[in-house]
Structure 1
Amino acid sequence: MNLSIFKKSALLVFSCVILSSCTEQYAFQDQNLENALIVEATITNELKHQEIKISRTRLLNDTITKIESGAKVTVVDSDNNEFSFKEKDGKYISENEFKAEPNKDYQLKIIAASGKSYTSSKETLTTQNTIDLEAVAGEREGQKGAQINVKSFDPTNTSKYYRYEYEETYKVVTVYTTTERIKLVPYQGTFKMEIVPAEPNTHICYSTKKSTGIIQTNTTDLSEDRVNFPVRFISESDYIIANRYSILVSQYTQNRFAYDYYFTSKKMSDSGDVLSPNQPGFIVGNIKSTDNSSEKVVGFFDVASVTKKRIFFNFADLFPSVDPAKYFRQCTPELIEFSEIPNENYKVLTTHVYIGGGPGMSPTSYWMVDKECGDCTSFSSNVIPSFWEN
């Protein structure tokens, strides 16, 4: 965070409310943000169970998220359709699938367990766009790597403000394929070692990670509403692209007020976390208390059109003349000597896997490697994702 000491006070940032002329002019005041409501809500044009997160601010050194339980949460549109949300797994999930539709206003309403009431401004769905992705060999700050670019174009010139999220999945292939493992079994009041079949499918896995922080761009300085944005850069030495890699990018079209809100949130937090529950300051959003006009509410109710696109590529597609093995961890077998009676050195069975040697029924030496070199299920999943393409 930008402030080293948090003393139950924070910066209050007032953003201008006239969207067409807002130029990031802010006034700062000291305000108490203890136990303020936090709302993270983006309703999209996807037909799905929409999600809303509601929590409370906490002190800077607190690590536990304070979920706001027992709230009544609804979204109401301009046709008086009401969409109710139920609390589940720390979130509020719409009871039925629905999507935001063009030319309708949407408003978020919250009644906290305390009985306090909150409401958002009325928001309208933004322009929907199509997107394309490309992966090219590029360079950033002298480092070669894979550059993933988002491209889109709005011929109506009405979008202009964009926020991005991505989910990346990559294939993990271990250096060694293990077919057997060491197992300790009870024997005459102690234990003995046996060689037994290894768990199946521990050689190839798939890991998935989601983007963090706020990623935005705008086209306000361009003559056309045309996006060519570098959404992700991956060093060629990063293992996640060593084999096969996939990225799913979501482009949210925002209005000016939403863009400014997220933009300022990123500026106020070194980490760039969206609506950080222990952020050092407060940014006026579009949600307010209907009971107490002076009560501070953190967060934004966003109604945004979203477009998604996925691509795949192999390391050789971008770097055909580079051997990825030169960058990555060298898996060197170790000859491990076990004593007859299990002792401290038997802890190696939790960090290493067996690759050969020794009869297995008596104390002897065994060739072993770090688990990451022979069992990818120790840190990843061997379940092939439903969307995966070889």
Structure 2
Amino acid sequence: MGNRLKHIVLFVFALALGYGCKDPYTPDITTRNLNYLVVEGQIINGQKETRIKLSRTAMMADSAYVRDENNAIVRIESDNNQTVETVKVGDGLYSAGILNLDVNQKYRVYIQTLDGKEYTSAFVSIYNNPPIDSVNWRWDASEGVKVFVNTHDPNNNTRYYRWEYEETWQHDVYFESSLKYLPQPPRLIDRPLNEALPLRCWQYENSSSIILHSTQRLANDVVKDKQVALVPNGSWKLGVKYTILVRQFAMDKQALDYWQMMKRNTESLGSIFDPQPSESRGNITCVTNPSEPVIGWISAGSVQEERIWIRRSEVPGWRYALTCEEYDISPNPDSLQFFFEGGMLTPISQDPLTGRVKAVAPYCADCSVRANPVRPSYWQ
């Protein structure tokens, strides 16, 4: 969700430019801080934890782009006055735990920020979310590995769908370093076992685009081969092994309209001469100041998940290789200091006769330079 937030923030600032501008113009928007509240999440019924993420838009000149909204009061409320308080579990992240909701009631999110402002989403019904039938993949020689989702509602009641995904992939390095550099005086020693550089790591990436589909114009509520992700040809994601967890959400027509508008706005930002983004108000209101814009849409329902795994060996013709050049380094102190003290190279071995050192770029001997050495609990 974090990458998507950056697109949303860009949309907000573009929105501030106004509409219908035709003359060339360089806006001074990098110093404006509109400080809008951004609300992400869904009220989830059963099995999965309900989490609400709060943040604030920041100045475009600010490299953080978004700022987490901490120390807020966040709760889930029903239209029969039942409430569930949340607990802060991370920066700007609030958890209501696993909820068992009454499908005959409507629910909303209530927020009180540290400055005393109050916000509420509209009361929404719990929408049916049919199971995912399958997630599969196909290799397109010109583009890469495409991932598709299939689902259907036999009662023809769902019609409007949204998906997110989480990718994880294994990253291995080719060289094991048996040496460690010490600077005073410049020398190499055998690397201690407890300081071994990791050879196998894992990297993660979440979906950053808005993935939607409607079956409203079809006789049957069937989604067939909806593409949700692409692993581009040559990507390191399929260097060894890759998995994707696809999450499916159901929603009503109003929610679909909101997400479609957000999709158009975030994907069309580019030139001042492009059609200007339309104002995309969600279903969240600042009670304290109703004219204050709030970014986000709250829906309620279950979440459906499906995970698949792809090995590199399963993809015919896949081309990926970690490019690692071996360097031959003189063992004199000046050379050792030059190549190793600043981390330019990592020593891997030393010739016992000549003393010359074999070295590689750090990412070729230490996978943690590019990824996380902690094995995910779900990895198989």
Report the TM-score, using the length of structure 1 for normalisation: 0.79
Q: Which moved more, 1:104-113 or 1:62-71?
A: 62-71
Could you tell me how far 1:214 is from its partner in structure 2? 1.3
CA contact (8 A) 1:43 1:100 kept: no
In structure 1, distance between residues paired with 2:279 and 2:250: 24
- Aligned mates of 1:224, 1:265 — CA distance in 2: 27
2:278 and 2:359 map into 1 onto residues whose CA distance is: 52
**2:234 paired with 1:241:** no
Measured on the aligned residues, the alpha-carbon RMSD in Å equals 3.2
Distance 2:286 2:148 in 1: 40
- Percent identity over paired residues: 26
Change (3 A) 1:7 1:116: same
Partner residue in 2 for 1:328: 321
Please list the CA deviations of residues 209-262 of structure 1 after superposition, one character each: whole Å capped at 9, or x if unmatched: 221121212212322111121111213322211321111110111211111111
Count of residue correspondences:
352
Which amino acid in the other structure matches residue 257 of structure 2? Answer: D
Uncovered stretches (5+) of structure 2, i.e. residues with no partner? 1-6, 20-31, 270-275
Report the equivalent of 1:9.
Answer: 16
SS at match of 1:143: coil
**What is the SS of the residue equivalent to 1:165?**
strand
1:144-183 to structure 2, matched below 5 A, reads: 144-176=143-175, 178=176, 180-183=178-181
Counterpart selection for 1:205 from 201, 206, 213 = 201
Cα pair distance change 1:350/1:163, threshold 3 Å:
same
The 1-side partners of 2:282 and 2:38 are apart by 11
In 1, the alpha carbon distance for the partners of 2:201 and 2:14 equals 46
Distance between the aligned counterparts of 1:7 and 1:134, measured in 2?
36
User: 1:55 matched to which residue of 2?
Assistant: 55
User: 1:73-93: per-residue Cα shift (whole Å, max 9, x none)?
Assistant: 221113432011233432242
Distance 1:171 1:62 in 2: 33
The whole-number CA distance in structure 2 between the counterparts of 1:311 and 1:130 is: 15
1:291-330 to 2 correspondences below 5 Å: 291-319=288-316, 322=317, 324=318, 326-330=319-323
Q: Which residue matches 1:283? A: 280
Matched with 2:24 is none
Whether the 8 Å contact between 1:129 and 1:153 is mirrored in structure 2 is yes
Matched letter for residue 227 of structure 1: V
Letter in 2 for 1:56: R
Equivalent residues of 2:241, 2:310 under 8 A apart: yes
Counting only pairs closer than 5 Å after superposition, residues 1-390 of structure 1 correspond to structure 2 as 9-10=16-17, 34-64=34-64, 65-94=66-95, 96-139=97-140, 143-176=142-175, 178=176, 180-184=178-182, 186=184, 190-197=185-192, 199-200=195-196, 202-228=198-224, 229-270=226-267, 282-319=279-316, 322=317, 324=318, 326-341=319-334, 345-347=338-340, 350-359=343-352, 364-389=355-380
* 1:27 match: none
1:148/1:232 contact within 8 Å kept: yes
Partners of 1:33 and 1:217 lie apart in 2 by 34
209-218 or 343-352, larger mean C-alpha shift: 343-352
Q: Is the 8 A contact 2:11 2:266 kept in 1?
A: no
What is the identity, as a one-letter code, of the residue corresponding to 2:364? C
Could you say if the C-alpha distance between residues 182 and 280 of structure 1 is closer, same or farther in structure 2, counting changes exceeding 3 Å? farther
Deviation (angstroms), 1:180: 0.6
Any idea what SS the aligned residue of 1:123 has?
coil
Question: Relative to structure 1, is the Cα distance of residues 388 and 69 closer, same or farther in structure 2, using a 3 angstrom cutoff?
Answer: closer
Task: Name the counterpart of 2:22.
Answer: none
- Give SS of 1:350's match: coil
Work out whether residues 33 and 282 of structure 1, in 8 Å CA contact, stay in contact via their aligned partners in 2. no
Indicate if the aligned counterparts of 1:242 and 1:315 stay in contact, CA closer than 8 A. Answer: yes
Offset of residue 49 of structure 1 = 4.1
Once residues 173 and 385 of structure 1 are traced to their aligned partners in structure 2, the CA distance between those partners, rounded to angstroms, is: 15
1:276 aligned residue: none
- State the TM-score, normalizing by the size of structure 2: 0.81
Q: Once the 2 structures are TM-superposed, how far is the Cα of residue 101 of structure 1 from its aligned partner?
A: 4.4
Contact 1:8 1:59 in 2 (8 A): no
Return the offset for 1:343: 7.2
